Amino acid sequence: MTVYGYARVSTANQELEVQIQTLEKNGAPVIYQEKFTGTKTDRPELNKLLNVLEEGDTLMVTKLDRIARSATQGSELVKELIAKGIKVHILNMGLLDNTPASKLIRNIFFAFAEFERDMIVERTQEGKAIAKQNPDYREGRKPTYTKKQLEHALTMLESHSYNQVVEMTGISKSTLIRAMKKKKAEQQMV
């Protein structure tokens, strides 16, 4: 029955010291730590810790966002750990285990996490619906090159090879080929 701490910061220039001191002060003799972005699900030290945890152990973190990218992901991880008989002590929330009071807190927390996720999805859909009203709307990431830059590069192809245009403009060959195909298709429609 060991208490394991986990401390994480997102970037190399952030410090772990405050989290480590807080975990030690609250009784975690063994602390796994890493500087790794929370947007990555595959975090090496967290994975090592999850493989070490056994029934009766406690995983301690200062805040839920140290072990999860989102409340939804955090709630799923906490559920899995508790199902294995591992307690989760989130210092700014409390100890989560299989007691009735803890289940109530977890259920309320997980309901809010699901609500938060649903609200994000709803806002995203509303934003897309508004954006689609704009005739210039294009789904996906913004183009790297302007229409004018691509037109200039295509004009250059009249007297230069693809490789030469790539070297002069920095526009990739595949982008130039796609733009050329699009241009030819538009010309055939006219």
Q: Give dist(CA 13, CA 10) in Å, integer.
A: 9
The Cα-based distances of 123 to 73, 75, 91, 131 in angstroms read 19, 22, 31, 12
Is 10 annotated in the active site? yes
Measured CA to CA, the distance from residue 129 to residue 116 in angstroms comes to 20
Active-site option among 10, 75, 102, 159: 10
Q: Give the residue numbers marked as catalytic.
A: 10
